[in-house]
Amino acid sequence: MSLIVQKFGGTSVKDAGRINHVAQIVTDTYKKGNNVVVVVSAQGDTTDDLIAKAAEINSHPSKREMDVLLSAGEQISMSLLAMAIEQLGCPVKSLTGWQAGFETDANHGMARVRTIHKERLENELAKRNIVIVAGFQGLNRYDDITTLGRGGSDTSAVALAAALHADLCQIFTDVDGVYTADPRIVPGARKLAEITYDEMLELASLGAQVLHNRSVEMAKKYNVNMEVVSSLEDKPGTKIKEVTTVEKLLIKGVARDNDVARISVTEVPDEPGYAFRIFSALAAKKINVDIILQSIGRAGTKDISFTVSRDHKEEAVQLLEGMKDTLGCKDVLCEDNISKVSIVGAGIATNPGAAARMFEALADAHVNIQMISTSEIKISVLINREDSDKALRAIHDEFIPG
């Protein structure tokens, strides 16, 4: 008997029809003799609706009360799914985050799972109940409800799979797997049968939006077998594991991220310590910096540019404007009409020609590169937003066999 964790997002349970369909998938898995733990998100737009209700009342509600409010969303979807499974004649229990034993830290709105107290879960599974667990939520040690932040249901699923030593953690989505690029932009994009945790991490953080990054980190850490699979069609998805064997592609995907702003601090004195001041100040405000580029010093000054997520751009600019005297710089400039386009693949590190091929493909497509960043398994370039579609296609054509 295998133990399978299945996670369904908000779209997959958005109405009675979709819930009944999910119930069918779950009970089919159960009737094959598997133990099944299901993680659900709130229905469709419930979370947004609840946020709107709160905004009407208080523009800055406490994060504690937001967590109480939002966690009601999964409580609704999980009980409805349980009822649909009852209708199909299988034994089922729905459990809130705290009932399922999710203990988190006290960081409301962005809590991290500390541990899962498994007694209740194991008891229900021992009774051969299908267990539905509310994703995205837990309880801190003050007995207050916490949420894991957006996309947290993926993390809930992987954490459960790790704690219960599940044989498989299936993430059901409206896409049928991980593609080499967004098929809406790149017509030749191919579905991958397998991808490594590291590749998936780079793709996720680069805007591929299939899986939440924290869930993949956790899957890698605890070696959880994951699979991204369609909730609409019954066909193979993409497996995420430590080492892939099926495909020998140099790169696994081309990703685009529009959630990026470039900030430039111009004419900083070309002396030691200035970069440190900038980035330690940003770190103190918990502003994550991605690509960093420093111009070669000229006439005693240099320009320092970096990218942040668009959420943080105003805070970053304000912060640095306030430090102008300390930094002795001329201007703090911000540009957000840009995209980050990246290639991801475990083969990149051992294939020094990859970068050259990428840049050549972009040059042939007349796409200007503003900044470059590389890691073991990815190469990212910053380009004008309006060039990003053709850049994706050009790079994809270069690397992925048609």
Indicate the helix (H) or strand (E) that contains 384: strand 378-384
Examine residue 80 and tell whether it contacts its own copies (CB under 8 A).
yes
Query: What CA–CA distance (Å, rounded) separates 259 from 384?
Result: 13
Region of 52-60, 149-157, 250-258, 326-334 interacting with its own copies (CB under 8 A): 52-60
Helix (H, G, I), strand (E, B) or coil at 312: helix
Listed ranges 73-81, 163-171, 249-257, 322-330: which one lies at the site for its own copies (CB under 8 A)? 73-81
- Min. distance of Cβ 125 from its own copies in angstroms? 16
- The answer to the question of residue 89 lying near its own copies (CB under 8 A) is no
**Is residue 109 a contact point for its own copies (CB under 8 A)?**
no
Tokens of 258: 């529009």
Using the contact rule CB under 8 A, the part of the chain among 69-77, 275-283, 329-337, 377-385 near its own copies is 69-77
Which of 4, 145, 164, 166 is in the footprint of its own copies by CB under 8 A?
145
78 binds its own copies (CB under 8 A): yes
* Per CB under 8 A, 82 contacts its own copies: yes
DSSP state of 206: I
Least distance to its own copies, CB of residue 49, Å: 10
- Neighbouring CB atoms inside 10 A of 105's CB total 14
Q: Is 225 one of the binding residues for its own copies (CB under 8 A)?
A: no
b/e code 30-57 from CB counts within 10 Å (16+ = b):
beeebbbbbbbbbbbebbeebeeebeee
Q: How far is the CB of 14 from its own copies (least distance, A)?
A: 12
Determine, following the binding rule CB under 8 A, whether residue 37 of this chain makes contact with its own copies. Answer: no
Please, which residue, 65 or 336, has the CB nearer to its own copies? 65
CA distance 182 to 63: 34
Residue with tokens 């702003």: 261
Could you tell me which stretch among 51-59, 170-178, 214-222, 269-277 binds its own copies (CB under 8 A)? Answer: 51-59
Cα 41 to Cα 156: distance, rounded to the nearest angstrom: 10
State yes or no: residue 61 binds its own copies (CB under 8 A). yes
Among positions 15-34, residues that touch its own copies (CB under 8 A) are 16, 19-20
> Residue 113 is encoded by which pair of tokens?
């799972």
User: How far apart are CB 241 and its own copies at their closest, in Å?
Assistant: 35
192's tokens: 């991958």
- Would you count residue 106 as binding its own copies (CB under 8 A)? no
Binding flag, residue 357, its own copies (CB under 8 A): no
What are residue 276's phi and psi, to 5 degrees?
Answer: -55, -45
Binding segment toward its own copies, per CB under 8 A, in 141-149, 156-164, 169-177, 283-291: 141-149
Contacts of 333 by beta carbon, 8 Å cutoff, 6+ apart: 263, 264, 265, 266
Q: Are 100 and 116 in contact (CB under 8 A)?
A: yes
Cα–Cα distance for residue pair 291/262, rounded to 1 Å: 9
The smaller minimum CB distance to its own copies, of residues 123 and 258, is found at 123
Spatial distance between the Cα atoms of 229 and 226, rounded to a whole number of angstroms: 10
Q: Toward its own copies, which CB reaches closer, 75 or 374?
A: 75
Q: CB-wise, 94 or 342, nearer to its own copies?
A: 94
Check binding of 72 to its own copies (CB under 8 A): yes
200 φ, ψ (degrees, to nearest 5)? -60, -40
How far is residue 389 CA from its own chain's centroid?
22
3-class secondary-structure state, position 146: strand
Asked if 58 is part of the footprint of its own copies (rule: CB under 8 A), the reply reads: yes
Verify binding: residue 94, its own copies, rule CB under 8 A.
Answer: yes
Residue with tokens 């009970």: 27
From the list 29, 34, 71, 238, which residue makes contact with its own copies (rule: CB under 8 A)?
71
Residue 268 makes contact with its own copies by CB under 8 A: no
Range list of β-strands (E), 117-260: 130-134, 137-139, 145-147, 168-173, 194-196, 226-230, 238-241, 253-257
How many residues touch its own copies (CB under 8 A)?
37
Least distance (Å) between residue 312 CB and its own copies? 25
Write down the least CB distance from residue 33 to its own copies, Å: 24
The closest alpha carbon to 221, from 163, 138, 153, belongs to: 163
User: Where does this chain bind its own copies (CB under 8 A)?
Assistant: 16, 19-20, 50, 53-54, 56-58, 61-62, 64-66, 68-69, 71-73, 75-76, 78-80, 82-84, 86-87, 93-94, 96, 99, 120, 143-145
